[in-house]
Amino acid sequence: MHRITGKNGGDNLIEMSPTDSYNDDLNGYHQHGTSSTGSLQQGQSVIDKQQQSKDSVFFRDGVRRIDFVLSYVDDKDGERKQERRKVYEANLMKVGLELETEDKSESEDGKTYFVKIHAPWEVLATYADVLKIKVPFKVNDIPDNSEMPMNWLSTPFRLPEHIMHPEPDFFTAPFNKSKSDFFLIDDKDTFFPPSTRNRIVYYILSRCSYFRDECAEKDKKGIKRLLNNGTYTAAFPLHDCRYWTRSKDLNCESERYNLYKHWARFLYFFKEQPLDLIRKYYGEKIGIYFAWLGFYTEMLLFAAIVGTICFIYGFLTYDDNQWSKEICSEEIGGSIVMCPLCDKKCGYWKLNTTCNSSWQSHLFDNVGTVFFAIFMGIWVTLFLEFWKRRQARLEYEWDLVDFEEEQQQLQLRPEYESKCTNRKKNRITQEMEPYLPVTTKCARMCLSGATVLFWISLIIACIIGVIAYRLAVYAAFASIMKDSPTNNLQVVGPYITPQLATSVTASCINFVIIMILNLMYERVAVWITDMEIPKTHLEYENKLTVKMFLFQFVNYYSSCFYVAFFKGKFVGYPGDYAYMFGKWSNLRNEECDPGGCLIELTTQLVIVMTGKQVWGNIQEALVPWLMNWWGSRKARSHPESLYSRWEQDHDLQGFGQLGLFYEYLEMVIQFGFITLFVASFPLAPLLALINNIIEVRVDAWKLTTQFRRPVAAKAHSLGAWEEILSGIAILSVVTNAFIVAFTSDMIPRLVYMYAYQIGGKMSMEGYINNSLSVFNISEFKLENKPDDEENPSWFDSSITTCRYRDYRYPPGHEKQYTHTMQFWHILAAKLAFIIIMEHVVFSVKFFVAWMIPDVPSDVKARVKRERYLVQEYLHNYEVEKLKIQLSQNGNKECTCTPMIYPSFPTHEVLSECL
């Protein structure tokens, strides 16, 4: 635990030269000591802005810290807005906040007013008591036994101790204003850190009314509504300094600079994250995200190593690939004539033309694939279980053990208040509050559900369109590329096939469609969630999370599901082909290569996953930078003027309430890629690992340099995302089992080797010939028969049969063209494999989950110790207070412990708090 002490006075983040002065008269200010507004008074001299610091985070008196800033611009229709601001700021002063206004003439654009807000000690103490904010009361006396053996090996990855642990270790208890001397308060000005101060001020801003007392029935309140209706243009806490340089004031901690130097730079990608400093500066909600992202990246390292080993195994067993040798040999593959892959425009072809794709497929479709699929099923469980333990440790260290959703997260949304005209009494608060009638709620939910279904149907329609494209252009590619000059290229010529061209172009088109639909649906999801009028911010976020993830799931994964589970499964056979929309469409269903469909699934996965990650990182880094560069261009053109701390932050991008939502969504989608389809591409975890190493630093850089400082918020877990991750983990076992069974050729090969191999030898000789059925060319229907000009030069009338990928009786057999017994044996083996793999993996998953406790034993002991100390110290504190009170009343002769606070034995106190 690294607790808040406020001992070092590092919050005085102001940069002044020895000759600078904060004298109000010198600077032309007239400032009341505890007053409200510091607007410019008429007749005062113009402010010499050079007397101030660019990083000043204090009022003009240099004493009171700026805890929050509001900005606004006067416009033509501003009378009502001006009245709202006047009443709102007056009500803020009634609560006890102190305000100071910067006139628009002092801003860079000459239009923006800035209202600076300071919370004095009385306000902070009162609301810290209301919010039950935990503060230190005793130095932690539990020895730290976390030293690991061979700890020196981790030295290159460590950060300096003052960066990793910016605060000493303390036991904490909820603040009680009436018992303020119970806590370790050395300096009231620095006792509450800036993140806690801005959270308290935001709590007040969210509840303060902007109508006069006589208009109280209108129940208009909260800074969010004022931002929505344009009364204020922005509301934000300040960064403590410029990110690229440390403040000149030696008393300033310059935490933003420390975060940039030790965390946000890519050169530090191999270093640990300063989670305690992140939490101290940004709050627990952002801290828990980066803790999870870092832990996820660490765990990916193990999956990436195993996946790379499986890939290397496939590469090293290249020469043992008997079926590929048969496909590539002139004697076998060169003599097998295959049936056309499309109608009319596709001619007959020889099996050895798929030689290269067969070798490529072996890299991913081998025995290591089965092992890796099972390993990833167990890895997912270990990841989730170990994260629970890490999360439990963070909950204790960050004082979140007894955390419940804060009141500001459960407050009514301003949109809910404004749109719900009906009112009823709240059973808990016994106050009248707005509510949405059941009929209206049901109607909105039905409309929302219909909209979601419509958009999901639109995605599916787009995927069907891409499939139709694949079917339509394959024939064109086959016709065009048969005499293509690319066939004569030395290196890449053999790899450029109609199958590859179709797969790559279709995957690229699919990726573009995914990006376009994703951009559109983000707006639609927000619109339909707003239409439902959720009651609280927590409910709003959960509803939006479900909609966005459901959409993204279908959008990103549907094409992979098609290739994995549908392509090549419903093609029929020569003479009775299956068509996508019926025979009238002429779109014959796709077949898999003789080497299987796994290589196409790999291609699809690589293009969509890699494209999304590269585009996401460019967009995340480039868009905020360009917008900030454009927004601060006026300040750059006047380098001689003071570009104050609040103006610098005002020109940055707002992080927004849903800022973390999109970060989680991006990572959860990636998690789905590396778990749901990992059996087809063992290198997926390696790509994800490389992306996440970049992602951590990109997110850190943009948060530290390109965004305003977010309001600190508490969160003790990932929330709804934890349930989504668990659901993906369970689904991944099923999908990988089906991929190995139905997409890979692993099961047919094993059945052949153990049951159908001629001569009783355990080898794969003859497998290719065994896996291809025979069709009589003379039985081709006219609409299926290739045009004469499409046939290759080697094809002549002596060739009477062609082969196709299936297990059917040959022509002339009494059961010709029906499935053989081997087909049913293979199908039974596939189903048996799915059942066995799922049961084995799920059994191991549940056993591992049962074996690993969610909360480490030492954390449980520390929690109990802290609860015991709180109980004991509060008891002793009350006793001492009562003694002092009695002695002051003249009862000095009574030195015994009063009976009202009997001295409980230690074991009784301990049992009571446990």
Residue 148 confidence (pLDDT): 58
CA angle 185, 286, 226 (to 5 degrees): 85
Tokens of 326: 């048969």
SS3 173: strand
Tokens of 618: 């460019």
CA distance 840 to 835: 9
520 to 125, 339, 511, 548, 613: CA distances (angstroms): 46, 43, 14, 11, 19
pLDDT average, residue stretch 599-620: 82
Residue 848 confidence (pLDDT): 87
Question: pLDDT of 494-542, one tens digit each?
Answer: 556 677 777 788 878 877 888 888 778 878 888 888 888 887 777 888 8
pLDDT average, residue stretch 616-620: 80
Decide if pLDDT at 646 tops 70.
Answer: yes
Residue 615 confidence (pLDDT): 81
Contact yes or no for 711/199 (Cβ under 8 A): yes
First CA to last CA across the chain, in angstroms? 20
Confidence of residue 483 (pLDDT cuts 50, 70, 90): low
pLDDT average, residue stretch 430-448: 80
Confidence of residue 150 (pLDDT cuts 50, 70, 90): low
Residue 43 confidence (pLDDT): 35
Question: pLDDT of 546-575, one tens digit each?
Answer: 888 888 888 888 888 888 888 888 888 888
> In the chain, how many H helices and how many E strands?
29, 14
Decide if pLDDT at 44 tops 70.
Answer: no
Question: pLDDT of 54-95, one tens digit each?
Answer: 678 888 888 888 999 999 998 766 788 888 899 999 999 999
Question: pLDDT of 127-148, one tens digit each?
Answer: 998 888 888 888 877 766 655 5
CA distance 417 to 206: 13
Confidence of residue 636 (pLDDT cuts 50, 70, 90): low
DSSP string, 264-303: ISGGGTTSPP-HHHHHHHH-HHHHHHHHHHHHHHHHHHHH
Please name the residues in contact with 70: beta carbons below 8 A apart, sequence gap of 6 or more: 114, 115, 117, 223, 232, 234, 235
Contact yes or no for 333/326 (Cβ under 8 A): yes
Residue 52 confidence (pLDDT): 52
Closest CA to 734 of 831, 629, 603: 831
Burial of 484 (0-12, 13-18, 19+ CB in 10 A): middle
CA distance 128 to 199: 10
Tokens of 655: 């992080």
Question: pLDDT of 349-406, one tens digit each?
Answer: 888 888 888 888 888 888 888 889 889 989 999 999 999 999 999 998 898 887 665 4
Contact yes or no for 598/591 (Cβ under 8 A): no
Q: Write down the residue that tokens 């080697």 correspond to.
A: 794
**pLDDT: is 727 or 219 the higher one?**
727
Residue 291 confidence (pLDDT): 96
Look up the pTM and report it: 0.84
Closest CA to 667 of 391, 370, 296: 296
pLDDT average, residue stretch 800-809: 91
Residue 198 confidence (pLDDT): 92
Closest CA to 511 of 468, 555, 549: 555
Tokens of 769: 């010939």
Residues 316, 320, 325, 327: is their CA dihedral positive or negative?
Answer: negative
Residue 710, number of CB atoms within 10 A of its CB: 22
pLDDT average, residue stretch 430-436: 72
Q: Angle between the 284-316 and 684-701 helix axes, to the nearest 10 degrees?
A: 150
Mean pLDDT, the chain, rounded, equals: 80
Highest mean pLDDT among 162-176, 609-623, 824-838: 824-838
Exposure string of 254-278, with b = 16+ CB inside 10 Å and e = fewer, is bbbbbbbbbbbeeebeebbbbbbbb
Decide if pLDDT at 749 tops 80.
Answer: yes
CA distance 378 to 846: 10
Please name the residues in contact with 783: beta carbons below 8 A apart, sequence gap of 6 or more: 343, 344, 583
620 to 40, 697, 700, 707: CA distances (angstroms): 40, 11, 11, 12
Please name the residues in contact with 602: beta carbons below 8 A apart, sequence gap of 6 or more: 364, 680, 681
Residues 494, 565, 348, 748: is their CA dihedral positive or negative?
Answer: positive
Decide if pLDDT at 684 tops 80.
Answer: yes
Tokens of 806: 């299936």
Decide if pLDDT at 49 tops 50.
Answer: no
Residue 361 confidence (pLDDT): 82
**pLDDT: is 348 or 247 the higher one?**
348
Residue 826 confidence (pLDDT): 94
Kind of pairing between the strands at 134-139 and 337-338 = unpaired
Question: pLDDT of 240-277, one tens digit each?
Answer: 888 888 876 665 678 999 999 999 998 888 899 999 99
Q: Write down the residue that tokens 């425009």 correspond to.
A: 345
Q: Which helix (H) or strand (E) holds 424?
A: strand 423-425
Confidence of residue 760 (pLDDT cuts 50, 70, 90): low
Q: Which helix (H) or strand (E) holds 561?
A: helix 537-565
Exposure string of 290-312, with b = 16+ CB inside 10 Å and e = fewer, is bbbbbbbbebbeebbebbeebbe
Q: Which amino acid is at 157?
A: F
Strand partners, 577: 572
Residue 45 confidence (pLDDT): 36
Contact yes or no for 804/573 (Cβ under 8 A): yes
Residue 114 confidence (pLDDT): 94
Residue 593 confidence (pLDDT): 67
Residue 145 confidence (pLDDT): 61
Confidence of residue 18 (pLDDT cuts 50, 70, 90): very low
Decide if pLDDT at 641 tops 60.
Answer: no
Long-range contacts of 843-847 (CB under 8 A, 24+ apart): 844/377, 844/378, 844/381, 845/377, 845/378, 845/380, 845/381, 845/733
